[in-house]
Amino acid sequence: MEYNINGLRVFTKGNKNNNTIIFVHGFPYDHTMWNNQIEELKENYYCVTYDIRGLGESYIGDGQYTMEAFVWDLFSIMDGLHIENPVLCGLSMGGYISLRAVEKEQNRFSGLILCDTRSEADNNEGKLVRSNAIDKINVEGVEAFANDFVPKCFHNKTPERMSEMYEKILEITKSQNSIGVKGSLIAMLSRRDTTPSLKNIKIPTLILVGKKDTLTPPKIMIAMADKIKKSKFDIVPKAGHMSPLENPEFVNNKIRRFLEKNFD
């Protein structure tokens, strides 16, 4: 099924009477990055994906986005679909949204899956990187930004090993609206640090990171996992920052086992 909720394009598969998983995609991609996970889980779970505002098919507006607005969008989808206590699964920017949502209203969720993300806010160097990306888009356009950014998200062997998938992701990124991409960068560089609240997370949590992730390396994510009491940590082989796409079989297996252990 497809829905339009407050300008957000929302997609569901599976039986709504089953336990729900909401997947929140990374920057600067769209809901289709979770297709492998949806196909694996839709028979036993109610799977919800959506395009974050400014990206994919969701509304763009003026590009003045904040992480708080992204979290409000997530809650509006839950309200619109009458979803209670879902498992929340986010990658990278989707992880930032997920961590802040759980920090705000943990009681609305039953579990958390964090892929290739971090709890810390951007430091000064990180803010400059995102600011320079905005300038690059202003001067050279989204396509130039995509050609520079997307390779950094993948294991260096992925473009050759999984060329069809890689080229599709690259094309999706190139086709994104420049206002939406810049708005996401603004939201990320201004986001809140959720590290102090990690100790308060009481729901079961799965943390996955690509072995060759250079954007959120394993050492950063294992440090985050150590702060979450009910967390399980795994390193995804043959993967960089986009582990659900680069090694879907491994990621699907870990997610399924996590769900069966904690929610079935």
Identify the CA nearest to 58 among candidates 109, 5, 130. 5
Predicted pLDDT at 230 = 87
Q: What is the residue-averaged pLDDT of the chain?
A: 98
- Specify whether the backbone of 82 is left (phi greater than 0), alpha (psi in -120 to 50) or beta: left
Quick one: average pLDDT of 229-254? 97
Predicted pLDDT at 161 = 97
pLDDT higher than threshold 80 for residue 264: no
116-170 pLDDT, tens per residue? 999 999 999 999 999 999 999 999 999 999 999 999 999 999 999 999 999 999 9
**DSSP string computed for 17-50:** TSPEEEEE--TT--GGGGHHHHHHHTTTSEEEEE
* CB of 12 closer than 8 Å to CB of 1: yes
* End-to-end alpha carbon distance in the chain: 24
- Specify whether the backbone of 61 is left (phi greater than 0), alpha (psi in -120 to 50) or beta: left
What residues form DSSP beta bridges with 91?
Answer: 115
* CB of 31 closer than 8 Å to CB of 50: yes
Q: Hey, what long-range contacts does 159-166 have (CB within 8 A, 24 or more apart)? A: 161/238, 162/245, 162/246, 165/245
88-129 pLDDT, tens per residue? 999 999 999 999 999 999 999 999 999 999 999 999 999 999
CATH of 2-263, one of 1.10.3720.10, 3.40.50.1820, 3.40.50.300, 3.40.50.11740: 3.40.50.1820
Q: Give residue 257's pLDDT band: very low, low, confident or very high (50, 70, 90).
A: very high
Domain boundaries, the chain: 2-263
Q: Collapse the DSSP code of 224 into the 3-class scheme (helix H, G, I; strand E, B; otherwise coil) and give the result.
A: helix
Identify the CA nearest to 26 among candidates 196, 210, 160. 210
189-235 pLDDT, tens per residue? 999 999 999 999 999 999 999 999 999 999 999 999 999 998 999 99
Share of the chain above pLDDT 90, in %: 99
